[in-house]
Each structure stands twice: as C-alpha cells, then as structure tokens.
Amino acid sequence: MDTTATPRDTASFVGAAEAQSDVGTGLHLAIRDGGTLAGVIGYRRSEPPANLDIGYWLGDGFEGRGLMTMACRALVTHVFAAAAAHRVQIRAAAGNVRSRAVAERLGFRLEGVLREAEHLPDGWVDHCVYGMLARDWVQLRGLRSGFSSSPDPEVPGRLCTHQPGHAQGRIASACADDAAIDGEMAAYFEAQAPEYDDWYERRGRYANPQTDAAWFDELARLHAVVRAFRLSLPGGASVLDVGCGTGRWTAVLAEPTPFAAAGLDRSSAMLAEAQGRIARLGLRALLVRGDALDLPFPAAAFAAALSGFVFEHLSADHRSRFFAELRRVVRPGGRVLILEGRRGAGHTSDVEIQSRLLRDGRHFRVRQTLFTAAGLCQALSPLGPATTGETANFFVWAEVIL
C-alpha cells in the first residue's frame, strides 16, 4: 500500500471502505492474528456489478504462513455464495511474487498483463490480471474435496454425519414394502412442511452445538454450488426445481428475474411454504403441484433442472421413471443438478428405512439412500456422466449434461 503512508491516509482508506460497505459496492475486512492486525482484504464491485476486484495487503511479519491464502479463499467463497459474484479478479504487480502466488495457489487463471499500469516510487510496473469464475471455483473445490481422502481444509475435522432429528430410528436396511412406504412418505412430507425449514436452520431438536457450525458452513457451500449452476446458464434460461419443497433452491434459481424458474412438488403444504418464501423475497416463480414421475410439462420445456433431496427417497423402480421424465422435459444438452445427503461413517447401509418423528409426535417411515460422490455418480449413470462434489460431512451433489 504505497499510497497509505500516514495515519491520515489510513483514516481516509477506512472512510472510503465504510462508504463502500454502506452502499454495497465493496467490503473491506481486517485479518487478525490473535489480537493483532496482520493485514487487510476486501473487494470492490466493478462493471458489471457481478464482477468484483479483490485486493489484499499483509504486514511484514505475517508473510509466509499461508494467512493470506486462507483469508482470500474464505473471501472468494463468500463473494460467490453471498454477494452474487460471477467473476472475481485479482490484480498484482508483476514483480510482487507473493501476491501473485496467492492467486495462483487458489487456482485463479492468469488472463493477461496490463503494461505499465501503476506508477510506484521506482517507476512504472506491469499488472498481472488473474480471474476466477463462480462455476470454476465450485468445480475446482468440489472436485478437490470429492476426490481427495483428506477433509476439506475449510471444515475443521470430520463430524458425525447423523443429522440430529432425522433418522431417529433405523428400522431396516432393505426396502420391503415400497408402495406402502411411498404412501407414508407422501403423508410425511405433507405434514412436515411447516417444520421442514427447522432442519435447514438447525432449530429445535435439529440443533446440535457440536455440528451446527460445520452444517452452516457446508450449507453455504451448497448454496454457492446452486448459485454457480444458475449463473452459468444463459440469460432467460428456464429452470425446473423438481420436488421443490419449501422453495429454498427455487428461490436461488428465481433470482435474478430474467431467469424463468418453476418449482414442482406433490405436497400442497410444501408448495404453500414455497409460495410464502418466493413472495417474501419479492421473486417470481411458477409453483406447480404435480408428480416428479409424471411431470405436467411438455417435452423440452426447460433448459435445466435441479432436484434437491428427492432422488435419495425414490425406490429403485421409480428412479428410471424419474430419469425418463427429466430427459423428456429438459432439452438435449441441458443440465441437471442433483443435491443429496452425504453418506458418512455412521451409516451402515446404502438404503435405510428410517422412522422420522414430527413435532406432533407422529412417526413416519421414510426411505433414504445415502450417497457418496462415487455412489451418486454411479446411480445417475443412466442419465449420463456426472461431475460430482461433496462437503466434508453433510452434502453431495452431481451435475449431468443431457
């Protein structure tokens, strides 16, 4: 920071940073080592506003410990997940090897060199421009965690994957009575609708102080995956959320408005919750009651589809109907993103018939397949080759191009 040499310069930097944060055009954060200020990292929006410039600075005694790489990784994940960024850029003076190494370590692509872009006390210096797209960030990180045996470095430790409040009892590992269980599951989702989001928000009996921090971290990552999926579609593309439940993912697909999003569910209580969410957020989406195995849409109606935590509940027989319907309503070359719960060390079999409890004390049998990334890839193979990713404990996803 050659332009910030006096306390007055620092005060003016802080004032400008506060002003940007007030109007949402930027965010600047302190990097602290214990109680000591070690550096600064932040972003500014450029044109178009979904493009961001990230800048950082680290004090002399704090270099060489990976602090900036860690801070930058967290900020980039944040801007893709929470600041609706599409492209992030880092500019570094060509001779600033440490600064360039941060971008390179995180997988940014060197997109060009701006000749003599900045005047420093020693003269003009070139700037290296590094870029990262939201979809590349997700893919890079998803693939790394999906195919490495080491836990994701951003999530401390590996936790028990049993989601408290779910799977209160595991009755059997094989599906005996598919039709009866399907009926029970339909009743369960209808009755569960008003409390469904407690599961996402870790409220009530779903709360677990030991795992909640990791849960929210991983859920933010899943949001980033869905947002990147949506952002990678051409403007105006129509997207269907199959088994949309309370509309968490429909809402992500519905924004910004040029996207035509539709949510389908067979539970009217779930659709009522989804309707409330979409209205609260001031979004627009078509919400339709229907069966994922017999979709009420014409052929090739959608450019893409997403389905969250639905495939894992289907019987083996129903999977092929689900695939056939996706193939019919999504155009050839269109994309399908499937989100599921991740199989962990605590799960003893691939398919469980769980006994799930609702607030009113009723129990329902629910079939759930627990997937690893490789297992999901294999299960989706009739649909097409999949690119998969997973978080350390809770979620797994796969994208297929039809």
Ligand X SMILES: C[S@@+](CC[C@H](N)C(=O)[O-])C[C@H]1O[C@@H](n2cnc3c(N)ncnc32)[C@H](O)[C@@H]1O
- Site residues (vs ligand X, CB under 6 A): 189, 243-245, 248-249, 265-267, 270, 291-293, 308-310, 313
Distance CA(70)–CA(265), nearest Å, equals 40
How many CB atoms are located within 10 Å of the residue 104 CB? 17
Distance CA(234)–CA(230), nearest Å, equals 9
How many CB atoms are located within 10 Å of the residue 331 CB? 16
How many CB atoms are located within 10 Å of the residue 113 CB? 11
CB 252 within 8 A of CB 246: no
Q: Nearest approach, Cβ of 398 to ligand X (angstroms)?
A: 14
Q: Which is nearer to ligand X, 85 or 181 (CB)?
A: 181
Q: Which is nearer to ligand X, 189 or 323 (CB)?
A: 189
Q: Which is nearer to ligand X, 27 or 292 (CB)?
A: 292
Q: Nearest approach, Cβ of 367 to ligand X (angstroms)?
A: 11
Residue 263: phi, psi to the nearest 5? -120, 135
Q: Nearest approach, Cβ of 135 to ligand X (angstroms)?
A: 20
CB 167 within 8 A of CB 312: no
Please spell the DSSP secondary structure of 356-388, one letter per residue: EE-TTS-EEEEEEE-B-HHHHHHHTTTT--EEE
Q: Nearest approach, Cβ of 227 to ligand X (angstroms)?
A: 14
CB 401 within 8 A of CB 384: yes
CB 103 within 8 A of CB 130: yes
Q: Which is nearer to ligand X, 286 or 293 (CB)?
A: 293
CB 1 within 8 A of CB 58: no
Tokens standing for 296? 């009420």
Q: Which is nearer to ligand X, 87 or 221 (CB)?
A: 221
In 20-173, DSSP assigns E strands to 26-33, 36-45, 51-58, 87-93, 109-120, 123-133, 169-172
The DSSP output letter for 121 is T
Distance CA(44)–CA(12), nearest Å, equals 16
Q: Which is nearer to ligand X, 152 or 312 (CB)?
A: 312
Q: Which is nearer to ligand X, 81 or 270 (CB)?
A: 270
Q: Closest residue (Cβ) to ligand X?
A: 245
CA distances from 223 to 151, 244, 272, 295 (A): 19, 15, 22, 25
Distance CA(84)–CA(230), nearest Å, equals 11
Distance CA(324)–CA(382), nearest Å, equals 9
